[in-house]
Structure 1
Amino acid sequence: MTITPVVTVGIDGSDSARAALDWAMAYARAHGTSLRLVNGLEVPEPSPAYVPYPLGDVRDAVEKEARQALETALARVHAAAPDIEVTTSVVAHPPVPALLEASKHSALLVVGCHGWGEFASLFLGSVSASVTAHASCSVVVVRGSGAVRTAAPVVVGVHGGGGEDATLETAFDEAARRRVPLVAVSAWSDVTLENAAGTIVGAWPTWDRLRTEAGNRLETTLGPWRAKYPTVHVGTVVARDRPAAALLDQAVEAQLLVVGSHGRGGFPGMRLGSVPRRLVHHASCPVLVVRHARND
């Protein structure tokens, strides 16, 4: 019996959640997955000084609103993509734990950048930032309308320090499925030139030498993936810039930005590096943060 992979989408009735749903529908069509729409119940804590309504009534109202949001989302899927298998679930937990639990049984988790409070995405403790940092599977944070720029490239961040197979495979696969170019970006302002013993080679190098070393390292990293995906046109950008800034620049013209959950300097058990954290908050296109299972 073949089990269809499940993509879970966080739903709360907001415009941001609708954008996430639209993106997830396009992804489900391309990958042959099913969708699971999840809404967590965010029940306000009662104030000991002022409780205008019985807490039970508040819970009932919150659950009713959650179910209505899911019914609206379900109708949107049925109208736009009737061939996609879809289920819904109201979870009696706040959004973050509800989505984190769902991520344990998902191939991908998709959330909007706002929702559950329109200013939430400005803070690291927001739903999107929290699930990106702690989910058991890869996460897409959909920024913008959710509409796919069909001719735009996929962009991937490459640090060249090893342990990037999952990120690169995801990026190449997405570019191949979408039949668009892939742009691989390496920021060389902080590239360390090391020999086999892990020590700096020679005197402090010039920027030209750093750029050459970074370009060589990038090509070496991409080589096996170019061979595996010969139909994908790959462009490279070697930028004298901080990694997040270089990727944000490329995201302006991209349809998807793919990064690992942590990059150079990451360690086993680390949940989210500074680069993907900044991209999730500021990128102008959807950001796919690839969870490296070997470190979880």
Structure 2
Amino acid sequence: MNGRSPAGVVAGVDGSAPAAAAADWAAREAERRECPLHLVHAVNTGTVTLSPRAGAAVTDLILKNAQAVLDEQLDRLIAAHPTLRITGDVVPRDAAPAILTAAEHAELAVLGTRGHGGFASLLLGSVSLRVTAHAACPTVVVRGSGTAGGDILVSIRDDGDVPALRFALREAEISGLPVRALHSWATVVADVGHTAPMADELGEETALHEQLLRRTVDAIHPDYPDVDLRAEQVSGATAALLVEASKRAALLVIARHAPAPHFGLRLGSAVHAVLHHAHCPVAVVPL
């Protein structure tokens, strides 16, 4: 077993409720994309400190229990999606590297917010964070239920975010939902009365951001002419605006930019915020 899945949708499962919800979302997505779904159940068998015979028996028991968990999820999803090709593997490895390996050639990786192994108080588990930070393909973290009939919300930071917009437009094309492209920006006010921008300067800055947004949208929207796309630019804190807007969204899409050299998080602050607090599933698209 090399742990790599066929091209399609990969979902991590572990028997937890968030992972089951993610698998359900992944199955519906695979059906829309007309591609297979592959489930990965990773288990760390640990360092055996017993006798060789006892250690082998413990490892075998762990793997058998993991296979039972996987089989339960496979049976459930196959019954609900009888025409969908669904496969699965138990991988004796830590969850994050197992899912990253499985998703190397996938269209999409799908995860729950957290599994059995983390602290119940955490809003997002370490596996989901690690996979979204390093996956070569887009990753969806299924949180909340999303708004049925809501739009697909995509964050546009700059005109390098075309891959995120393209992902959102494709999702809209296969789901029939509209897209709302949101570009947010913040004015710098250091000392009111001295460096606060004047009204005409704010107007010029607004116009520049509007041009940036239109340039980004116009570069890709013609490839998806049937998708209803609304573009909006607004001043304010990106993370807060996206979390609030996610209340009315079916899916939030955000780009994963390269981390700043020498410091900073692998995932930017806005990505971290929406992964922890969004009210709908979040798709993180690597650039």
Establish whether TM, by shorter chain, passes 0.5: yes
CA gap of 1:121–1:283, structure 2 versus 1, over 3 A, is: farther
Q: Partner amino acid for 2:165? A: L
Match of 2:78 in 1: 78
Match of 1:151 in 2: 149
Q: Of 19, 36, 39, which residue of structure 2 is paired with 1:37?
A: 39
Name the SS of the counterpart of 1:156 in structure 2: strand
Q: Of 165, 180, 184, which residue of structure 2 is paired with 1:183?
A: 180
CA distance in 2, matches of 1:279, 1:190: 22
Matches within 5 A, 1:1-296: 5-44=7-46, 55-119=55-119, 122=122, 126-145=126-145, 149-160=147-158, 162-189=159-186, 206-262=201-257, 271-292=266-287
Question: What is the Cα deviation at residue 142 of structure 1?
Answer: 0.6
Q: Deviations over 1:148-188 (max 9, x none)?
A: 6441100000012x322211111111112211111111111
Question: What is the Cα deviation at residue 261 of structure 1?
Answer: 0.9
Bigger drift between 113-122 and 273-282 goes to 113-122
CA distance in 2, matches of 1:123, 1:58: 32
Determine if contact 1:138/1:288 at 8 Å carries over to the other structure.
Answer: yes
Name the SS of the counterpart of 1:12 in structure 2: coil
Q: Partner amino acid for 1:225? A: I
CA distance in 1, matches of 2:78, 2:125: 33
Q: Partner amino acid for 2:268? A: G
CA gap of 1:207–1:66, structure 2 versus 1, over 3 A, is: farther
Q: Percent identity?
A: 35
Question: What is the Cα deviation at residue 272 of structure 1?
Answer: 2.8
Q: Partner amino acid for 1:15? A: A
Question: What is the Cα deviation at residue 64 of structure 1?
Answer: 2.3
Name the SS of the counterpart of 2:89 in structure 1: strand
Mark the runs of 5 or more structure 1 residues left unpaired by the alignment. Answer: 49-53, 192-202
Q: Partner amino acid for 2:253? A: V
CA distance in 2, matches of 1:63, 1:22: 23
Q: Partner amino acid for 2:103? A: S
Match of 2:192 in 1: none
Determine if contact 1:262/1:274 at 8 Å carries over to the other structure.
Answer: no
CA distance in 2, matches of 1:57, 1:278: 43
Name the SS of the counterpart of 2:249 in structure 1: coil
CA distance in 2, matches of 1:251, 1:213: 26
In the TM superposition, structure 1's runs of 4+ consecutive aligned residues that sit over 6 Å from their partners are none
Determine if contact 2:113/2:123 at 8 Å carries over to the other structure.
Answer: no
Q: Deviations over 1:40-91 (max 9, x none)?
A: 113356799xxxxx54444333222211111011011211111111111011
Match of 1:195 in 2: none
Q: Partner amino acid for 2:31? A: R
Question: What is the Cα deviation at residue 4 of structure 1?
Answer: 7.0
Q: Partner amino acid for 1:110? A: V
Mark the runs of 5 or more structure 2 residues left unpaired by the alignment. Answer: 189-195
Equivalent residues, number: 269
Q: Partner amino acid for 1:159? A: R
CA distance in 1, matches of 2:260, 2:171: 24
CA distance in 2, matches of 1:45, 1:123: 29
Question: What is the Cα deviation at residue 278 of structure 1?
Answer: 2.1
Determine if contact 1:8/1:109 at 8 Å carries over to the other structure.
Answer: yes
CA gap of 1:152–1:38, structure 2 versus 1, over 3 A, is: same
CA gap of 1:220–1:266, structure 2 versus 1, over 3 A, is: farther
